[in-house]
Amino acid sequence: MTGMPSDIRLEALAEGAWLWRFGDTIDATVNARVHEAAARLRAHLPHVECVPAYASLLLRVDLAEWEAHGGPLTAERLRAAIEAAWRKDASTNVVAREVTVPVWYAGMDLADIAAHARLSTDEVIARHSAPTYRVAMLGFAPGFPYLLGLDPALAMPRRSQPRISVPAGSIAIGGLQTGIYPQALPGGWHVLGRTPLRLFDLDADPPSRLLPGDHVRFQPIDEDTYRQFAAEAGVTP
């Protein structure tokens, strides 16, 4: 565990909503601190909702609960509560959930990614499925995970012309990030495969299969296995 941040930078967004900034770049170390802070606050400040992003943590406060235990919310009181929560949990490790995502690597941009990286498609698949990724945040659309951990050799600029619709379950690369489209959506990332998993389901609890802070491994599968899993999940191939 890291020590207590020396400078808790809180920015008021709205009534009962504050932003705790850790930096201003996409960086795995900074993002790890965001998730560590979220875990500690969830454990000791249950009336504060934590929503992680790449380098910041949105804090949404139950004002009625807060005011019942000491009066109006201020940046000073929130900062003091964060510091107290940190001291309570100084020796606890944050254990990330491990999730395996099966992928049929036959995406419409796989050959372009291989050409850009000067690798064979088999090498692209091997490099993409080798790392353990972290869900840095959810955004863009409900259940869309932004994943950190991509092999730099596979990084690609976003498409100059976004597609009107990218199929649900598409695994794609944008810059140094990998993402998964939870439903058919417009998008400008490069698609290298597709998972049969349903990433977002309003009837599930929680609705999003992947959550911020999860660790993700991609497991290559063939077309037959993909279609079998898709049928079992009720997903249109």
Is the pLDDT reported for residue 109 higher than 90?
A: yes
Whole-model pTM: value is 0.89
Query: From its phi and psi, is residue 151 left (phi > 0), alpha (psi between -120 and 50) or beta?
Result: beta
Q: Do 84 and 102 have their domain in common?
A: no
Give a yes or no: residue 26 inside a domain. Answer: yes
Residues 14-57 have pLDDT tens digits of 888 989 999 888 999 999 989 988 988 888 888 889 999 999 99
Give a yes or no: residue 3 inside a domain. Answer: no
Host domain of residue 134: 98-233
Give a yes or no: residue 186 inside a domain. Answer: yes
**Residue 83: how many other CB atoms lie within 10 Å:** 13
Give a yes or no: residue 93 inside a domain. Answer: no
Query: Rounded distance, CA 182 to CA 208, Å?
Result: 9
Domain boundary among 37, 62, 88: 88
In DSSP notation, 40-104 reads: HHHHH-TTEEEEE-SSEEEEEE-HHHHHTTTSS--HHHHHHHHHHHHHHTTTPPPPPPEEEEEEE
Q: How high is the pLDDT of residue 1?
A: 46
Q: What angle do CA 211, 136, 220 make, to 5 degrees?
A: 75
Give a yes or no: residue 212 inside a domain. Answer: yes
CATH code for position 203: 2.40.100.10
Query: Rounded distance, CA 168 to CA 182, Å?
Result: 5
Q: Do 179 and 102 have their domain in common?
A: yes
Q: Do 83 and 103 have their domain in common?
A: no
Q: Are 158 and 178 in contact (CB under 8 A)?
A: no
Give a yes or no: residue 190 inside a domain. Answer: yes
Q: Do 75 and 30 have their domain in common?
A: yes
Q: Do 129 and 206 have their domain in common?
A: yes
Q: Do 141 and 214 have their domain in common?
A: yes
Query: Rounded distance, CA 170 to CA 105, Å?
Result: 10
Residues 116-130 have pLDDT tens digits of 999 999 999 999 999
CATH code for position 23: 3.30.1360.40
Total structural domains within the chain: 2
